[in-house]
């Protein structure tokens, strides 16, 4: 698992998908906003949602170096702009938090998942997103 200090130029990954997942997870846990500007089988580029911010992370799958981070510019915007980071509401970020609870009790309510997320991770998610998390985990099973 990566932490925010390990998103550095030259960090390598087995695949582009692994790089995307790792970077998105690190940024979501740091509660930083981002948007994807380009994503395909060979490249992945994200920037800050704040237009004036210089933040950028770029991953390329090259024949010479494999999949690695080629650009990493930190946020130049105020941390206050990241106060409501909606990226932490994504299924990709939430499913690992609640997989064990849903597997243990498939009849757990979405309201309970919402409460668990708020108490354990200090992340307030909408009811509908908690319901979607539950349904995605049940589908996995």
Secondary structure of the chain as H, E, C letters: CCCHHHCCCCCEECCHHHHHHHHHHHHHHCCCCCEEEEECCCEEEEECCCCCCCCEEEEEEECCCEEEEEEEECCCCCHHHHCCCHHHHCHHHHHHHHHHHHHHCCCCCHHHHHHHHHHHHCCCCCHHHHHHHHHHHHHHC
pLDDT tens, the chain, 141 aa long: 444 556 788 888 999 988 888 888 888 777 787 888 888 889 999 888 787 888 899 999 988 888 988 888 888 887 766 665 566 677 777 888 889 999 999 999 999 999 988 888 777 888 998 999 999 999 988
Nearest to 83 by CA among 45, 124, 130: 124
- Spatial contact of 68 and 12, defined as CB atoms under 8 Å apart: yes
pLDDT digits (tens, 9 = 90+) for 105-121: 999 999 999 998 888 87
pTM over 0.75: no
- Quick one: CA dihedral 46, 52, 55, 61, positive or negative? positive
In the chain, domain spans: 4-79, 90-140
């Amino acid at each position: 698992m990566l932490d925010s200090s390990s998103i550095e130029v030259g960090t390598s990954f087995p695949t582009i998908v692994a790089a995307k997942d790792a970077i998105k997870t690190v940024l979501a846990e740091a509660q930083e906003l981002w948007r994807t500007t380009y994503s395909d089988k060979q490249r992945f580029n994200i920037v800050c949602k704040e237009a004036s911010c210089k933040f950028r992370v770029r991953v390329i799958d090259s024949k010479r170096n494999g999949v690695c981070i080629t650009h990493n510019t930190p946020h130049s915007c105020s941390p206050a702009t990241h106060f409501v980071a909606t990226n932490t509401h994504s299924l990709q970020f939430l499913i690992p938090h609640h997989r064990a609870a849903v597997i243990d009790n498939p009849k757990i309510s979405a309201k309970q998942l919402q409460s668990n997320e708020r108490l354990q991770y200090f992340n307030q998610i909408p009811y509908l997103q908690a319901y979607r998390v539950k349904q995605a985990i049940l589908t996995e099973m």
